[in-house]
Chains A and B, each alone.
Chain A
Amino acid sequence: MKQIQSPSFSRRSFIKTSALAGGGMLISFNLFQACKPEAAPPVDISQLNFNDFNAFIKIADNGMVTIFSPNPEIGQGVKTSMPMLIAEELDVAWDNVHVVQGALDTKNFTRQVAGGSQSLRHGWEPLRQTGATARQMLINAAAARWGVDPSTCTTNNGIISNANGDKLGYGEVVKEAANLDVPENITLKNPKDFKIIGSDANNVDIDKIITGKPLFGLDYKEEGMVYAVVMRPPAFGNTLKDFDATEAKAIPGVHDVIRFGDKVAVLAKDTWTAMKGKKALKANWESDEALENTEGHDKILTDLLNGTEFNTMRADGDVKKAFAEADEVVERTYESPFLPHNCMEPMNFFADVTAEKVRLVGPIQTPAGTARRVAELLERDPEQVSVEMTRMGGGFGRRLYGDFALEVAEISKLAKKPVKLVYSREDDMGAGIYRPSIKYKISASIKDKKITGYHLKEASVNSNMYGLIPNFFPAGAIENYQVDVANYTSKITTGAWRAPYTNFLSFAEQSFFDELAEILEVDRIKLRLDLLQKVKGNTDERIQYSPERLEKVINVAVEKSGWGKTEEGVYQGFSAYYCHNTHVAEVADVVLENDVPVVKKVTCIVDCGIVVNPLGAKNQIEGGVIDGIGHAMYGDFSFKNGEPQDKNFNTYRLIRINETPVVETHFIESDIAPTGLGEPTLPPAGAAVANAIKAAKGIRLYKQPFIKHMKAKAPLG
């Protein structure tokens, strides 16, 4: 097993300190790169400059700690867990720490261009080092005042003590500390001494959320702005021939109607008027080529799977030979539809494009990349473009794409006004960047009751599995192993969707192994454990999953779920998976109510390294499991003549509270650096449920959504 090591940082290069004019000490730092040598740490809190640094810690002279971070929050609780790392090493009480996100507080932030997504995994080491460095500087300042050796001083919750029993609060020495050299060679705490890491902390924005304060992109307003709603081509492949805005313009409150490319923006005094204006537009659309249909996609992907044009992503041994020599070959095909993201907060963005600058504000996961693309589109100097981030009402991958920010920038430029672009739900679902429809064909060769070969073929729309995914389990466990991929280029826009590829791949593989166990007449847990044995000691660098950690979550899942020991009428399904550097096992308990399978409970075992904030982590896990079940059960999305057939929640079904199981979470205790939690519990959920449905009803599911494909055989839900 290989751990990804965080690069080691020279503290001198990524931290700068300054004494604040209003009192207190400011630690300015750059998480993932060295500061520019000329970058000057601000001396006034109103001058925080997120170009040169990406976060700041202020220690006030009353000892209160404020962390200023432009970190995006998409519901993953990162905004809570990242400051916990700083507070831990700084050794202050969590209650004395406040987190301020830059966005929406324009008074306190000059510009914010924050760099990319900053996950806990990548922040683990540098954030702790920053906290520890600041703590050492405070100790050094106190020791100098006392005339003692710093190594004889200790800290406890913001108080420094020396061997004589003298005490000084952090706030009392900030002034001197700010002017000291940034020390090198800081030792980090031993995980067993953690006080904050590993204890429950509320979401830092909870009070604002539950009292309805403005937080989200849709809540953002500025004096003088107008609202825009955009008419886009109804079908992928359509172009705008012409349009008539006479009626739209006649609506009181509609300011302007502007065409840009194949889209038309209606600008109005408020959202509702803009929506009405859009409805009143009359447009003619045309298309050069045949428009796409779901039936067509099905055929194309099936033909690809049965064809010979593949890219091989990994090949071990000789799959052909293994299949030729097999006693038996098992081959199964798994199929999934496109899926929209459906963030609860529809896409929206604000732009103010003037001769001097381009100011963008809104919910985005990729502010730096978006700023760059806007600069290119508008042919502006990237230095003139700023992106401020708001809280996001969900991301799931959709807000990685700045298409909406490009749109609003263009509209604002043409309208010469500050503009707030709002998508209706229909716009959001209809102009998506969808999870592509994917089919997998998995074959296994069996010889003397052993799995001798494994061949996985992927047929997908627009793109294929990438990175290390072809090296996930069962890579390394089966001697003759091959992963081949093929794709078809569609006009329908596709992209990342929570746990890209693995969100469906895991269903296919974990269903396949369950069925293999039945065919081989071996225990389904034992089949998985036996395969893992073969990965132990494997030195292949590409195999990043740990057979030991996967084995552990499987064994704990067996124990905690009461596997095989449930009461009569409860049917269980098993699934275990590794992705996003996290190892997970899930057991779904299904009962039959009026002969319909209902998922009652999911036991979820997670090895994500050290758990920084168990309260927040469990929230992620519960959400991921239920999201996985919801989409596996109900998520369906089709196209007819290039047009999405679902536009809103009246026909597109999302899981609701009365359909949810209880998720029981257990963590594997660990002292390994934390890994991702936003995604890895989603992929195994579908297979756990499908395998439980098999146990309950004898029906094996190969296609999502289950609801559709079970209906023919038996009703569901």
Chain B
Amino acid sequence: MPVYNLKINGKSHTVEADQDTPLLWVLRDHLDMVGTKFGCGIGQCGACTIHIDGSATRSCLLQVSNVGDMEITTIEGVSEDASHPIQQAWKEVDVPQCGYCQAGQIMSATAFLSQNSNPTKSEIRDAMSGNICRCASYNRIERAVELAASKMS
């Protein structure tokens, strides 16, 4: 079985996995990094969102063999102590309900804000529309992204 060297959250990890294994399952099952969630497996829900070289990517669709030496960031790498302004905003607004989708939401939001630090409401709604929240915490996600933007500027 092939061996891969992955750069995740600034550290390097060696894993043995079938080449077609989605990065999602490598993270969850092989590396015990279970913050990245499984929701649909087909790129529709955003629960599995991570960053690849800083851009939001669906890890359920990315095969481990295609990662190469690109930098992977997962929810565990945003900050360990919830001190990142996005996490702070999430906390202030008290976004989560069941919480399951929230890692993916946070990863989409951080990638988005790094490209657009002063977004309008409708830009936020468009940017976050790839992430489903079945509990419909959408009003708060919108507010938290706005708040994070103001914290970061």
Q: A272-B18, A394-B135 are in contact. Are A75 and B35 (CB under 8 A)?
A: no
State whether the Cβ of A641 lies closer than 8 Å to any Cβ in chain B. no
CA distance A656 to B139 in the complex (A): 11
CA distance A660 to B91 in the complex (A): 21
B29 engages A344 (CB within 8 Å): no
B139 engages A662 (CB within 8 Å): yes
Q: A391-B99, A619-B97, A622-B139 are in contact. Are A210 and B87 (CB under 8 A)?
A: yes
State whether the Cβ of B70 lies closer than 8 Å to any Cβ in chain A. no
State whether the Cβ of A562 lies closer than 8 Å to any Cβ in chain B. no
State whether the Cβ of A219 lies closer than 8 Å to any Cβ in chain B. yes
Q: A210-B106, A425-B40, A650-B44 are in contact. Are A660 and B138 (CB under 8 A)?
A: yes
Give the total of B residues in contact with A, Cβ under 8 Å: 61
Question: Which residues of chain A have C-beta atoms less than 8 A from B72's C-beta?
Answer: none
State whether the Cβ of B103 lies closer than 8 Å to any Cβ in chain A. yes
State whether the Cβ of A42 lies closer than 8 Å to any Cβ in chain B. no
Question: Which residues of chain A have C-beta atoms less than 8 A from B87's C-beta?
Answer: 210-211
CA distance A276 to B29 in the complex (A): 15
CA distance A506 to B40 in the complex (A): 31
A211 engages B75 (CB within 8 Å): yes
A212 engages B99 (CB within 8 Å): no
CA distance A342 to B128 in the complex (A): 20
B94 engages A619 (CB within 8 Å): yes
CA distance A156 to B44 in the complex (A): 52
B134 engages A344 (CB within 8 Å): yes
B96 engages A657 (CB within 8 Å): no
Q: Which of B98, B103, B128, B129 contacts A212 (CB 8 A)?
A: B103
CA distance A343 to B39 in the complex (A): 9
Q: Mark B130-152, 1 if CB is under 8 A from A, else 0.
A: 01111111111110000000000
Question: Which residues of chain A have C-beta atoms less than 8 A from B134's C-beta?
Answer: 342-344, 394, 396, 627, 654
Question: Which residues of chain A have C-beta atoms less than 8 A from B122's C-beta?
Answer: 658
Chain B nearest Cβ from A439, distance in angstroms: 26
A344 engages B133 (CB within 8 Å): yes
State whether the Cβ of A227 lies closer than 8 Å to any Cβ in chain B. yes
Question: Which residues of chain A have C-beta atoms less than 8 A from B94's C-beta?
Answer: 200, 202-203, 206, 615-616, 619
CB nearest to A201 among chain B residues: B94
A657 engages B141 (CB within 8 Å): yes
Category for how many chain A residues contact B? 35 or more
Q: A271-B25, A649-B40 are in contact. Are A344 and B80 (CB under 8 A)?
A: no
Q: Which of A212, A221, A650 contacts B76 (CB 8 A)?
A: A212
CB nearest to B24 among chain A residues: A272
Q: Which of B22, B32, B126 contacts A272 (CB 8 A)?
A: B22
State whether the Cβ of A215 lies closer than 8 Å to any Cβ in chain B. yes
CA distance A211 to B88 in the complex (A): 11
Question: Which residues of chain A have C-beta atoms less than 8 A from B35's C-beta?
Answer: 211-213
Question: Which residues of chain B have C-beta atoms less than 8 A from A218's C-beta?
Answer: 34, 37-38
B137 engages A209 (CB within 8 Å): no
CA distance A205 to B95 in the complex (A): 12
State whether the Cβ of B61 lies closer than 8 Å to any Cβ in chain A. no
State whether the Cβ of A346 lies closer than 8 Å to any Cβ in chain B. yes
Mark out the residues of chain B between 18 and 36 whose CB falls within 8 Å of any chain A CB in the assembled complex. Answer: 18, 20-22, 25, 28-30, 32-36
CA distance A212 to B21 in the complex (A): 21
Question: Which residues of chain B have C-beta atoms less than 8 A from A395's C-beta?
Answer: 98
Question: Which residues of chain A have C-beta atoms less than 8 A from B138's C-beta?
Answer: 622, 626, 655-657, 660
CA distance A395 to B134 in the complex (A): 10
Chain A nearest Cβ from B8, distance in angstroms: 12
Mark out the residues of chain A between 365 and 424 whose CB falls within 8 Å of any chain B CB in the assembled complex. Answer: 391-396, 422, 424
State whether the Cβ of A77 lies closer than 8 Å to any Cβ in chain B. yes
A344 engages B132 (CB within 8 Å): yes
Chain B nearest Cβ from A625, distance in angstroms: 8
Q: A219-B34, A344-B45, A425-B42 are in contact. Are A209 and B96 (CB under 8 A)?
A: yes
State whether the Cβ of B7 lies closer than 8 Å to any Cβ in chain A. no
Question: Which residues of chain A have C-beta atoms less than 8 A from B126's C-beta?
Answer: 658
CA distance A70 to B101 in the complex (A): 23
Question: Which residues of chain A have C-beta atoms less than 8 A from B5's C-beta?
Answer: none
A658 engages B100 (CB within 8 Å): no
Interface contacts beyond A210-B96, A623-B97, A627-B136: sample of 8 additional A-B pairs, CB < 8 Å, sorted by A: A75-B99, A200-B94, A210-B106, A218-B38, A344-B101, A616-B94, A654-B132, A660-B138
Q: Which residues of A contact B (CB under 8 A)?
A: 73-77, 200, 202-203, 205-207, 209-216, 218-219, 221, 227, 252-253, 270-273, 276, 342-346, 391-396, 422, 424-425, 615-616, 619-620, 622-627, 630, 648-650, 654-658, 660, 662-663
Q: What are 26 A-B pairs with beta-carbon distances under 8 A?
A: A76-B97, A203-B94, A206-B82, A206-B96, A212-B34, A212-B78, A212-B103, A218-B34, A252-B18, A270-B29, A271-B25, A271-B38, A272-B25, A272-B29, A273-B18, A344-B132, A391-B99, A396-B134, A620-B97, A627-B135, A627-B136, A648-B44, A656-B132, A657-B138, A658-B122, A662-B139
